[in-house]
Structure 1
Amino acid sequence: MTRPPAPPAPPHRAATPAAAPSGGTARSWRPAAAVLAITPLLRYAVARHAVPPGTGRRTGCDACGAPIGPHRPWPALGPTARCGGCGTRVGAPPATVELAALAAVAALLLTHPPAVEMVVAGWWLAFAVPLLFIDLAVHRLPDRLTWPAAAGTWLLLGLAALTGADATPWLRAVAAGLGLALFFATTTLLLGARGFGIGDAKLALSAGTLLGWYGWSLPVFGLLLALTLSGLVALGLLVSRRARLSSHLPFGPYLVLGTVGALLLVW
């Protein structure tokens, strides 16, 4: 008895590519969302400390006295930076702190430094961003931000040295921070108002430590970059007659930018 012929095999179908996970885009936005969530704290630091020397820290709107603080961040500590009572601007200009924070996080994510170094840089930037805006506004760098920036940078790099079983980078970083701070303080003692401020020296303490972790040449490069940027801006202000030779320009913002620029070269 003969068997009936087997039915023909179904035609082969090419495998369809799996759909890209829908959560990929969402995950890419998580760091930005996290940064935007903490920007009210950065704005609060700017608003609270951007006051003339000898003046108490700001606790409310200068125009109507409406209180501002982390317990009620909107709208004064939001991107609009406006008092909810009278609409007066509070602290840094609208959207500037948010853009600066997003730019800092984008630099960290695009360069992919080692995890420990990313944490240290994130800690330092959390203080450097408010300091930048405070120095631009009132030409001062408050101790309540410069000292924690330096202490946290020292401590976190020290933990990195312990876990890496090599203290050489940490010792070099501490020496570089102290050396850069001493340079700034010496100009203040020798040149007075024509030199750098003591606040600049305290900010240089943390900036030099952060750069010194990568070698002796990087703090020098960061300082030269900061001096170049400040010189170009000063020249532009002189040419446009928006400043005089006797005008005092804040150096903190350029030190922050010089430090970030130097870090981007090694990451």
Structure 2
Amino acid sequence: MTTPPGDLALITVAALWGAIAGALLPRAVHRFSVPWEERADGWRTTCPAGHPIRGWLGRARCGRCAELGSRPGPGPGPGPGAESTADAGPTASTASSASTASTAPTASYAPGAVGLPVLTALLCAALAAATGVRPELVVWLLLAPVGVLLAAVDLRVRRLPDPLTLPLAAAALVLLGPAALLPEHAGDWTTALLGALALGAGYLVLHLVNPGGMAYGDVKLALSMGAVLGWYGWATVMLGTFAAFLLGALYGGALAVVGRAGRKTTIAFGPFMLAGTFAGLLIGAYAA
């Protein structure tokens, strides 16, 4: 089956938006990737070399580190020792170069310059293909980069920062409100609100029963999951939730098989919650 030209244009625009938004995420990923034991204000203010970082969006590249790394080091001057250094062969110069390279500042202080734009573009394109021209697509495209940011931070430091999880839940409900008033929408705002409350309460119970297995950050992220999935109904909420636990269990089982995890090993569950939400959202949008 061929894709209609209008849908192809919509998917292309969504992918372009995702690529642009993803390209702005590496600096934010670094700034929010603060382990619990190092947390001060909740985010980083400097690069690994200690130079201040300005702004939240853009490449994770420090101009000061690039400037210091490009300065040539002092080389051996002419004199009686020059000939003996030359006779020593390449070993001395190689060791000197290796020492200089190991101490030179690195301009790029976080990965993701390519992976984050590609991933965000693919997610946005898939959402556009599933949702079509319905008004809620704008909401999905605005929320998708934040989801990628949360997943990247959780994978790095196993933490879901409050400045991202709580505003994401509020933004989902606020943005879905106007979408529910526009024609051609395929969801229900009231169910989105109830889904957020229900899923948040369910994850809270799991956290109280087993705090080590379900972190409090996951409970806050569940509010956003419930709002997004609840837009398409309770069946979508159940589907997205089941997909999250299934993906997490498969990943944990794979780690156990290869000997990299035991019964007490904890994993970052946020990426699987987000992946399950994405899967449920795609199916819910197609079925709507």
Q: Give the aligned partner of residue 51 of structure 2.
A: 66
Q: Give the aligned partner of residue 76 of structure 2.
A: none
Between structure 1 and structure 2, the one with the greater Rg is 1
- Please state whether the residue corresponding to 1:193 is helix, strand or coil: coil
Tell me how far apart the structure 1 counterparts of residues 281 and 266 of structure 2 sit (CA, whole Å): 27
Structure 1-normalised TM-score? 0.78
Once the 2 structures are TM-superposed, how far is the Cα of residue 27 of structure 1 from its aligned partner? 9.4
Once the 2 structures are TM-superposed, how far is the Cα of residue 92 of structure 1 from its aligned partner? 4.0
Once the 2 structures are TM-superposed, how far is the Cα of residue 121 of structure 1 from its aligned partner? 0.9
Tell me how far apart the structure 1 counterparts of residues 115 and 44 of structure 2 sit (CA, whole Å): 20
Tell me how far apart the structure 2 counterparts of residues 114 and 252 of structure 1 sit (CA, whole Å): 29
Q: Residue type of the partner of 2:171?
A: G
Tell me how far apart the structure 2 counterparts of residues 132 and 32 of structure 1 sit (CA, whole Å): 19
Give matches, 1:93-242, under 5 Å.
93-163=112-182, 169-194=188-213, 196-242=214-260
Q: Give the aligned partner of residue 38 of structure 1.
A: 21
- Please state whether the residue corresponding to 1:192 is helix, strand or coil: coil
In structure 2, the CA distance between the partners of 1:60 and 1:179, relative to structure 1 (3 Å rule), is same
Contiguous gaps of at least 5 residues in structure 1: 1-24, 78-82
Q: Give the aligned partner of residue 11 of structure 1.
A: none
In structure 2, the CA distance between the partners of 1:72 and 1:217, relative to structure 1 (3 Å rule), is closer
In structure 2, the CA distance between the partners of 1:202 and 1:28, relative to structure 1 (3 Å rule), is closer
Q: Give the aligned partner of residue 7 of structure 1.
A: none
Kindly tell me the number of residue pairs found equivalent between the two proteins. 235
Q: Give the aligned partner of residue 15 of structure 1.
A: none
CA contact (8 A) 2:35 2:157 kept: yes
CA contact (8 A) 2:160 2:270 kept: yes
Q: Give the aligned partner of residue 90 of structure 2.
A: none
Once the 2 structures are TM-superposed, how far is the Cα of residue 107 of structure 1 from its aligned partner? 0.7
Tell me how far apart the structure 2 counterparts of residues 136 and 242 of structure 1 sit (CA, whole Å): 16
Once the 2 structures are TM-superposed, how far is the Cα of residue 127 of structure 1 from its aligned partner? 1.3
Q: Residue type of the partner of 1:241?
A: G
CA contact (8 A) 1:176 1:219 kept: yes
Name the one with the larger helix percent. Answer: 2
In structure 2, the CA distance between the partners of 1:165 and 1:107, relative to structure 1 (3 Å rule), is closer
Q: Residue type of the partner of 2:46?
A: G
CA contact (8 A) 2:47 2:53 kept: yes
CA contact (8 A) 1:92 1:133 kept: no
Once the 2 structures are TM-superposed, how far is the Cα of residue 43 of structure 1 from its aligned partner? 1.8
| 1:248 equivalenced with 2:233 (yes/no) | no
Q: Residue type of the partner of 1:99?
A: V
- Please state whether the residue corresponding to 1:214 is helix, strand or coil: coil
Q: Give the aligned partner of residue 10 of structure 1.
A: none
Tell me how far apart the structure 2 counterparts of residues 249 and 200 of structure 1 sit (CA, whole Å): 12
- Taking only the aligned residue pairs, the percentage that are identical comes to 33
Structure 2-normalised TM-score? 0.73
CA contact (8 A) 1:127 1:146 kept: no
CA deviation map 1:149-200 (0-9, x unaligned)? 111110111122234599x921111111111011111111122213x11111
| 1:47 equivalenced with 2:33 (yes/no) | no
Tell me how far apart the structure 2 counterparts of residues 74 and 109 of structure 1 sit (CA, whole Å): 26
CA contact (8 A) 1:43 1:91 kept: yes
Contiguous gaps of at least 5 residues in structure 2: 1-7, 70-104
Q: Residue type of the partner of 2:232?
A: Y
